[in-house]
Amino acid sequence: AQKVTQAQTEISVVEKEDVTLDCVYETRDTTYYLFWYKQPPSGELVFLIRRNSFDEQNEISGRYSWNFQKSTSSFNFTITASQVVDSAVYFCALSEPYSKLTFGKGITLSVRP
Amino acid sequence: EPEVTQTPSHQVTQMGQEVILRCVPISNHLYFYWYRQILGQKVEFLVSFYNNEISEKSEIFDDQFSVERPDGSNFTLKIRSTKLEDSAMYFCASSEEGVKNIQYFGAGTRLSVL
């Protein structure tokens, strides 16, 4: 069975601070995908990034960066120079190809001006 | 940019009534999903649909739930006899065939069962 653990529940930072959101996953599949979704106060789920199990190359996209490490089953997400608009719930998720997403419980990020 | 559209945005119903939640997936997508999120909790998978049939369903998706693709564009979730505990946000998602395999979500329908 697949499992996603987001141990942090709430994080509060001051604008311009860097913040890292942790995600640990469990799966017996050799091929799988990892995702981060953002849920702003308006409620929709916004796709941020996908990584497959064969691609451990970490990436930076603007203020966002991701650190995928298969050895520790972790897929962490960092926001650099946080902004108030980054305030949201962030979900890490896991899936097999063409299968359901298994979500973590989410991390509520509050960025204070 | 193509998006998944869900209607209505908010549905209020009486316990025991039937509701139909509607979704228009992204047009070239072939995989369709329903998820629900009880207030303040994580997003839970209900059912996936491909090639006009259910491909996977969770324990939550019992006999009171059904899905249908009545035409080439709509994808519906029916709850036959709503219960108080069905109150939640229901999300529809779709993904395309091929390497992308990214599920894009609609804005959700908030179902309130009174």
Query: Could you tell me the pLDDT band of residue A86, with boundaries at 50, 70 and 90?
Result: very high
A43:B42 CB<8 A: no
What confidence score (pLDDT) does residue B99 get?
62
A43 vs B110: CA distance, rounded Å: 10
What confidence score (pLDDT) does residue B100 get?
67
Q: A74 has which bridge partners? A: A24, A69
Q: Does residue B76 have a pLDDT over 90?
A: yes
B41:A50 CB<8 A: no
What confidence score (pLDDT) does residue B2 get?
74
Contacts of B88 (CB under 8 A, 6+ apart): B36, B37, B38, B39, B110, B111
A43:B95 CB<8 A: no
Q: Which residues in chain A have Cβ-Cβ distances shorter than 8 Å to B57?
A: none
Q: For the segment B47-74, what is each residue's pLDDT rounded down to a tens digit?
A: 999 988 999 999 999 999 999 998 878 9
In angstroms, what separates the C-alpha of B23 from chain A's closest C-alpha? Answer: 14
Q: Does residue B85 have a pLDDT over 80?
A: yes
Query: Could you tell me the pLDDT band of residue B97, with boundaries at 50, 70 and 90?
Result: confident
Q: For the segment B11-54, what is each residue's pLDDT rounded down to a tens digit?
A: 999 999 999 999 999 988 989 999 999 998 999 999 999 988 99
